[in-house]
Amino acid sequence: MTVLHWVTISPFLLAILVPFLFKYAKRIHTGWFVLILPSVIFAYFLQYLSITSMGNFVEHTVNWVPSLGINFTVYIDGLSLLFLLLISGIGSLVVLYSIFYLSKKTEKLNNFYVYLLMFMGAMLGVVISDNLIVLYVFWELTSLASSLLISYWFTREKSTYGALKSMLITVLGGFSMLAGFSLLYVMTGTFSIREIIANVDLVTASSLFLPAMILILLGAFTKSAQFPFHIWLPDAMEAPTPVSAYLHSATMVKAGIYLVARLTPVFGGAAEWFWLLTGFGLLTLIWGSVSAVRQKDLKGILAFSTISQLGLIMSLLGVGSAAVHYVDSPDPAYYALPVMVAIFHLINHATFKGSLFMAVGIIDHETGSRDIRKLGGLMAIMPITFTVSLVGLASMAGLPPFNGFLSKEMFFTALLRSQEIGTFNMQTFSVILPIVAWIASIFTFLYCLIMFTKTFLGKFKPENFKVKVHEAPIGMLISPIILASLVIIFGLFPNNLSYSLIEPAMRSILPMVLEPGDMFEVNISMWHGFNMELLMTIGVVAIATLLYLLMKKWAKTRFYLGERDLLNWFYDSSLDGVIKGSKAVTRFQMTGLLRDYFAYMIIFMIILFTYTMYSYDAFAIDTTNVSYIDPYMWLIFGMLTLATLSVPFIHNRMTIVIVVGVIGFLLALVFVVFRAPDLALTQLLIETVTVCLFMIVFYHLPELRKEKAKTRFNFINLIISAAVGILITALSLSSLALGNKAGMESISQYYIENSKTLAGGYNMVNVILVDFRGLDTMLEALVLGIAALGIVVLIKLRMTGREDV
């Protein structure tokens, strides 16, 4: 493996060591050890800026399952590098923040940092993988790790509820995405993203194009909390604040954004892609901003604001995908502005939202409350937190001179320019896009204003808090100060990002728009003169301020008093329905009787095999090559039949054991007749040991009581047994007949010819088990090993009575 591969999986390797560090380095906070890794990873990836800014990329491959086209290929271009730096950079600040936020005396830090590193490694894998299946593996690991982090305080019911909701929604979306990836493989014959992009003509010409697109978008929408799948994100706020700052501002929720951006060269230019991204993005934007106004919890406000901002970015990627449609026009790069704004705002959002989450965490940590109805007057008591929050909220509201103002103005520009798109029915609907964006921006400014004034202005009421409120220690303030500083720096000097991060990422998303060697023009400035965008911003500030001044009049309405998202009812009702249905199935199926369990399994197998054989017209009988059966063989088979049929009618244990032993010895005799002495010897040994053990054990058991079964049960048993026998006989005869019909040779000839040359053994049975079917044997040994470990655990287990506490 290359260094890049080791860097990608390094968080998983460190996660293995964290429990030992937590146990043996008790005087030092575990976070200090963890902090080293993301910092080193961030510094390592910085060296690739010079490579991607020149339009180059880095690729290394390690074979995994090459026969299936599944390899661990790491690929760094402008888009993946942007996310790699966000994941490692924000991750370093989050770990530093968590050192002071989580106490080593009261918290299980080993669990926290194992989950956090697991998530960090999974996110690195998602954005650096070129293979869709490897990407999917890491994708689902992010869902698992995030659920563990959300339920970190697992004794709280809300934490486990939020973790379950997050897991169910994102994993179901992941399954859908996997189906879409499979369809891409069917269309192109490869799982490599670069090769799929190179064969995009095969995708667009296929009838599977639209199903693959929809399935993949379901995965992206669930992960990036797009309407109506956004409902998991607010409940995920039950996680510790460092988790919220990391997962829900810069990393996990951006995974769907990354996937959409990465696959834009494949699906971009299609009307369905354009409208699905644009429509759901704008709907999510306005739904999230309106819902944020209704929240009274600071993290609740930030949760819905994150949903809104993710919708903004998604809609920009949708509008920007039109550039692919205009690839043959004189200036296709003209239509790429929305993609540039999406990338710029993605960076901006990570900085101002990360600082805000950390500031809210500080307020919660030092006051014990996040309820804006209790807070107020914290400006004088927590001046540094106040300053950080002011910078973050002003940027999110879109005020100069912060970076959020720049991307918000460019957002307006991109949607106003979308009216020039002459396809996708934009002549009819283009006017709606800037109107929706403008209305959503009003509510964005409003919830920023409410959050700021209700938290920091007004009169401080110490009686609302159980602790003495004071400013946070400097260690907890370092990370939000750094992020707030970046908000200002990127606002005043945005072009430092233009050709180092933004332009290379644009080139990765829209490679077909440029001629070889060309670059996108990225020039960001604070002042654009008096234009429509400035008038829209002035209108946003004026109307939002007016709504705030009139807040006493509408604060008593059902709109404001109802905090919980209405769509949660559908989730809760669906979950309740699934639980009730599963209980009904369980009551029917889990009877406690092994006979019933075997019956269910056998009936299912009978139906499956019968349907398969019937569907492929595989039932056939061919007696042309049937061998002559000697009379003594009829005698042996007759004895076997009689012994087998007599078992159900015997009610004495010892007699049953003897008859079953007779059946086993007769089978050994059959093996001898067919010249399989090794099988015969094995059968004899097994039957001898089994009969002896059964007789020894049964001798000490109480007298057998005859179980009275209802007649219909006996009849069902007879039907199932007969069906199994008939089906196995039909399968055996049909396989022989179809083999003869197709002229296929027996596979035994292959083993006869190759046992010595390929496996170095003369005993074909042993060679088949150890070499030709070595994987089966290995897995059987693994199962036995797991069973042995389970037995050891049960032997060593000592219940204390507090396991469920």
Q: In this predicted model, what pLDDT tens digit does every residue of 682-698 receive, in sequence order?
A: 889 988 988 888 888 87
Q: Scanning the structure block, which residue is given the tokens 């406690």?
A: 592
- pLDDT for residue 343 is more than 80: yes
Q: What is the pLDDT averaged over residues 712-729?
A: 82
Q: Are 654 and 701 in contact (CB under 8 A)?
A: no
- pLDDT for residue 286 is more than 80: yes
> pLDDT above 70 covers what percent of the chain?
96
Q: Which residue has the higher pLDDT, 790 or 718?
A: 790
Q: Where are the alpha helices (DSSP H) in 294-336?
A: 298-320, 322-325
Residues 6+ apart with CB under 8 A from 762: 755, 756
171-201 tens-digit pLDDT? 999 999 999 999 999 999 999 999 999 999 9
609 three-class SS: helix
Q: What is the pLDDT averaged over residues 37-48?
A: 96
Structural domain contains residue 484:
yes
Structural domain contains residue 253:
no
Structural domain contains residue 747:
no
Find the radius of gyration of the CA atoms of the chain: 33
CA proximity to 421, closest of 433, 409, 435: 433
- pLDDT for residue 429 is more than 90: no
CA proximity to 311, closest of 244, 388, 373, 257: 257
- pLDDT for residue 353 is more than 60: yes
Per-residue model confidence (pLDDT) at position 492:
93
Per-residue model confidence (pLDDT) at position 805:
45
Q: Are 369 and 428 in contact (CB under 8 A)?
A: no
Token pair, residue 537, equals: 């911003």
Residue 26 pLDDT class (50, 70, 90 cuts) = confident
- In angstroms, rounded to a whole number, what is the distance separating the alpha carbons of residues 699 and 412? 87
- Name the burial class of residue 590, with classes exposed (0-12), middle (13-18) and buried (19+) by CB atoms within 10 angstroms of its CB: exposed
∠ at Cα 392 (96, 487), nearest 5°? 75
Structural domain contains residue 413:
yes
In whole numbers, what is the pLDDT of the chain averaged over residues?
Answer: 89
236-265 tens-digit pLDDT? 998 899 998 998 777 888 999 999 999 999
Q: How many whole angstroms from its chain centre is CA 399? A: 35
Q: Are 447 and 396 in contact (CB under 8 A)?
A: no
147-170 tens-digit pLDDT? 999 999 988 899 999 999 999 999
Token pair, residue 469, equals: 């409120």
Per-residue model confidence (pLDDT) at position 359:
95
**Secondary structure of 176-238 as H, E, C letters:** HHHHHHHHHHHHHCCCEHHHHHHCHHHHHCCCCHHHHHHHHHHHHHHHCCCCCHHHHHHHHHH
Domain with 434, as residue range(s), is 281-518
Q: Which range (7-11, 130-134, 551-555) has the least confidence?
A: 551-555
279 three-class SS: helix
Q: Which range (22-31, 122-131, 408-417, 615-624) has the least confidence?
A: 615-624
> pLDDT above 90 covers what percent of the chain?
57
CA proximity to 91, closest of 126, 120, 128: 120
HSE-CB of 361 using CA atoms within 13 angstroms: 28
Token pair, residue 339, equals: 């993609």
Per-residue model confidence (pLDDT) at position 284:
96
- In angstroms, rounded to a whole number, what is the distance separating the alpha carbons of residues 488 and 480? 13
Per-residue model confidence (pLDDT) at position 588:
86
Q: Tell me which of 503, 518, 533 is where a domain ends.
A: 518
Q: Tell me which of 498, 518, 538 is where a domain ends.
A: 518
Q: Tell me which of 518, 553, 581 is where a domain ends.
A: 518
- In angstroms, rounded to a whole number, what is the distance separating the alpha carbons of residues 75 and 83? 12
376-419 tens-digit pLDDT? 889 989 999 999 999 999 999 999 999 999 999 999 999 998 88
- pLDDT for residue 116 is more than 70: yes
Quickly count: other Cβ atoms within 10 Å of residue 55's Cβ: 18
Structural domain contains residue 451:
yes
- pLDDT for residue 144 is more than 90: yes
Per-residue model confidence (pLDDT) at position 801:
60
Q: Are 422 and 325 in contact (CB under 8 A)?
A: no
Pairing mode of beta strands 70-76, 58-65? antiparallel
C-alpha distances out from residue 7 to 220, 318, 760, Å? 26, 33, 41
Q: What is the pLDDT averaged over residues 477-506?
A: 95
- pLDDT for residue 710 is more than 60: no
Per-residue model confidence (pLDDT) at position 391:
96
Q: What is the pLDDT averaged over residues 347-364?
A: 94
- In angstroms, rounded to a whole number, what is the distance separating the alpha carbons of residues 555 and 397? 21
Structure letter (DSSP) for residue 530: S
590-646 tens-digit pLDDT? 888 888 888 889 999 999 988 888 888 878 777 666 677 788 888 888 888 898 888
740-775 tens-digit pLDDT? 665 666 777 788 888 888 888 888 778 887 888 778
- pLDDT for residue 319 is more than 70: yes
HSE-CB of 765 using CA atoms within 13 angstroms: 8
How many domains is the chain built from? 2
- In angstroms, rounded to a whole number, what is the distance separating the alpha carbons of residues 653 and 710? 22
